[in-house]
Structure 1
Amino acid sequence: MKKRPVTSRQVAELAGVSQSAVSRCFSPKASIAPKTREKVLAAARELGYRPNSIARSLITRSSRTIAVVMSQLDNPFYAQMLDCAARQLQQHGYHLLLFMSRDDEQSSAIMADILQRQADGILMLAARLSSSFAQECVERGIPVALINRTVTFEGVSQVASDNHRGGYWAGEWLIARGYERIAFVAGVAQSSTSNERREGFLAALADHGHHCWAEESGDYQRTAAQAATRALFTRTPPPDAIFAANDHMAVAVIDTLRAELGLRVPEDVGVVGFDNMPVASWPSYRLTTIQQPLEEMVTHATQRLLEQIETGIVTGERKRLPVVPIVRGSTR
């Protein structure tokens, strides 16, 4: 015969406290006296009590969950952002629901799933869903925050680094190092980050009397970046420098230059990335790159999201944070 679950009323009776005290003990950030908490926890351990999060969500109308929408995990930069967001939100008593999506065609199904699971808010790290999906969230009155993404319409909180300035620095730096035929490996076509970095890069080249020697799409993917590098070197003459829209692609570019094309970095080809992932500092790459303030971006986005959830007021705010050039050995 199946044993009935222990109730909060039984815990309250054993601890000699009210049932509401038991509820407060297991509610994040609820006020409860330390001695009362100790008595409740001792009684819960003795009885084997486990709080029912589903029942609590029906009472409080809060699931204490945040939906995180991502488009890739193979890029370590996004894994870092997810880890940082998870740590910060768990400190506030929230759990994460992870949704993976590669394109806008999946947005309706993801939105339906999020609504069914009654997530309190949405944190968006997906390049391909940023505009259409975020707009649907705003229309439905769902608290949402975008990290490392920007959209043009109002009502959505978004935080990103100064991608244009970072792209400008990359172009200016490569020109200053004496490179003449400078190419660009772009990210996802509809990604605001890739487009802003590209615009800054082209502006720097134009300001110094240069033009982009060639451009290929790396789609923010390793294999696509490798193919883009091969395509660039079918040109005559080939590029002598490459700016990749993120480090994940820049590392793939360097590997392809060395292993497949037999070229030296930085003597034959200079390479600049964007993000300053941990791999960028490895001795085998020593990648010159532009550092994004990852922790600060995540902190600002999660704080804004929690404010919207707690106040019930969904408003938009735009925040752009400065980037920092990191010079290493992948440029001469």
Structure 2
Amino acid sequence: MDSGVKKPGVTSSQVAEHAGVSQSAVSRTFTPGASISPKTRAKVLASAKILGYRPNAIARSLITSRSRIIAVVMAYLENLFYPDVLEELGRALAAENYHLLLFTGFMDRDSDPVFDQLMQYRVDGIILASTSLSSELSEECATAGIPVVLFNRTTERDAVSSVTTRNREGGKRIADFLVAGGHKSFGYIAGLENSSTNRDRQEGFMDGLAAHGFTEAIVETGNYSRSEAEDAARKMLSRPDRPEALFVANDHMAVAVMDVARYEFGLSIPEDLSIVGYDDVGPARWTSYGITSMSQPLKRMVEATVDILMDQIASGEIEAEHRILNGDLVVRSSARLPKTGIVALDGRKLYRPRDV
């Protein structure tokens, strides 16, 4: 299949002809609450699936008349990184005279169940943040000429673009920082184990430790959930071989881990335990937490996402494009400091060793 060229959509009349029913029967099939026999409905749905028809989604009018709506599917608004992303996306899309339509997806699996709903709006593009679509639906979007961009996730699928940061390098930078701070034992509290961001951060962290001769780190899983991060922290901090330093896969969980360490175990941060997070958002910047965190350049990530969408909408060519941006390790008070490598820039302290 040539995913770089728009193909004409399937019409309801074609579905009616294929199913051997009237066009009004097709309309009633896709109208909630409309009267239609189960047998006729089943025939229409079978023909629609064979022909690849979705009402209002793969329509000829998309070629000449745009809805100017971009669907944003988010699954993790509990993490303050994503409300910030949503606000910035709204601004960037408005500047292009596009509207943002928000749908709630699933963090731990593909968000296919919301696909039918969002496609009723004849959206011109789809942004998936902290979630994804199956390969089948990704290909269907490409066939319909609807660009899809994964935000803060990566993919190997030919029809889907992505914008993310160098998570593997970020994990390695954190390992370098903690080793340079004199720590000898380490732990990692993981996010969703099947997510690309978690996988890359963990692999980078482990590779970074190994480069310094540390081949082991204790791992617990928090699944990007506050309550599960708290449980993971309790398990890790109850161990007789409790690590001296923790890398937590994002700031949302790092706050929970710090609360458990301070208020349940009576530990002083960073004297008894160093904690480093990821994202550099929300409470990480509050003086009561002051979490050292690997930043994600949110504004530049949003700009890249909108740029990809606008280019593909204008050209009508759906070809995967992957942009990977750099972040910085922002140094605050939650971890013991290295003797060298910390620089001041634009009012922030950053860890930038000479070889970076």
Report the TM-score range of the alignment, normalised by the length of the smaller protein. 0.7 to 0.9
Where does residue 25 of structure 2 map in the other structure? none
Contact map agreement 1:270 1:331 (CA 8 A) in 2: yes
Contact map agreement 1:125 1:147 (CA 8 A) in 2: yes
Where does residue 312 of structure 1 map in the other structure? 316
Give the number of the structure whose residues are more often helix, by fraction. Answer: 1
Contact map agreement 1:130 1:149 (CA 8 A) in 2: no
Where does residue 100 of structure 2 map in the other structure? 96
Residue 81 of structure 1, aligned match among 80, 85, 103: 85
Where does residue 196 of structure 1 map in the other structure? 200
Residue 285 of structure 2, aligned match among 260, 267, 281: 281
Change (3 A) 1:207 1:146: same
Where does residue 246 of structure 1 map in the other structure? 250
Residue by residue over 1:36-70, the C-alpha shift from the partner in whole angstroms, topping out at 9 and shown as x without a partner, is: xxxxxxxxxxxxxxxxxxxxx89953111111011
Where does residue 205 of structure 1 map in the other structure? 209
Residue 229 of structure 1, aligned match among 230, 233, 237: 233
Where does residue 185 of structure 1 map in the other structure? 189
Contact map agreement 1:147 1:160 (CA 8 A) in 2: yes
TM-score scaled by length of structure 1: 0.78
Residue by residue over 1:236-273, the C-alpha shift from the partner in whole angstroms, topping out at 9 and shown as x without a partner, is: 22111110111111111111101111111101110001
Q: State the secondary structure of the residue aligned to 1:273.
A: strand
Does 2:119 align with 1:115? yes
Aligned partners of 1:59, 1:196: CA distance in 2, in Å?
38
5+ unaligned residues in a row in structure 1: which ranges?
A: 1-56
Change (3 A) 1:104 1:170: closer
Residue 326 of structure 2, aligned match among 312, 322, 328: 322
Where does residue 44 of structure 1 map in the other structure? none
Aligned partners of 2:133, 2:202: CA distance in 1, in Å?
18
Contact map agreement 1:130 1:151 (CA 8 A) in 2: no
Contact map agreement 1:280 1:286 (CA 8 A) in 2: yes
Query: Mapping of 1:9-158 within 5 angstroms?
Result: 61-102=65-106, 107-127=111-131, 129=132, 132=135, 134=138, 137-138=141-142, 140-158=144-162
Contact map agreement 1:67 1:97 (CA 8 A) in 2: yes
Change (3 A) 1:58 1:213: closer
Residue by residue over 1:63-111, the C-alpha shift from the partner in whole angstroms, topping out at 9 and shown as x without a partner, is: 1111101111111101111110011101212111111122576733311
Shift of 1:134: 4.3
Contact map agreement 2:312 2:318 (CA 8 A) in 1: yes
Contact map agreement 2:206 2:217 (CA 8 A) in 1: no
Change (3 A) 1:287 1:134: farther
Q: State the secondary structure of the residue aligned to 1:242.
A: strand
5+ unaligned residues in a row in structure 2: which ranges?
A: 1-60, 337-356
Contact map agreement 2:130 2:152 (CA 8 A) in 1: no
Residue by residue over 1:96-150, the C-alpha shift from the partner in whole angstroms, topping out at 9 and shown as x without a partner, is: 11111225767333111122221111011023x2564645534554211111110
Aligned partners of 2:107, 2:325: CA distance in 1, in Å?
27
Change (3 A) 1:243 1:139: farther
Contact map agreement 2:279 2:294 (CA 8 A) in 1: yes
Does 2:193 align with 1:219? no
Residue by residue over 1:298-319, the C-alpha shift from the partner in whole angstroms, topping out at 9 and shown as x without a partner, is: 1011111011112211111111
Where does residue 40 of structure 1 map in the other structure? none
Aligned partners of 1:139, 1:105: CA distance in 2, in Å?
23
Aligned partners of 2:134, 2:190: CA distance in 1, in Å?
19
CA RMSD of aligned residues (A): 2.0
Aligned partners of 2:108, 2:233: CA distance in 1, in Å?
28
Aligned partners of 1:134, 1:279: CA distance in 2, in Å?
35
Aligned partners of 1:59, 1:202: CA distance in 2, in Å?
48
Where does residue 166 of structure 1 map in the other structure? 170
Aligned partners of 1:267, 1:101: CA distance in 2, in Å?
40
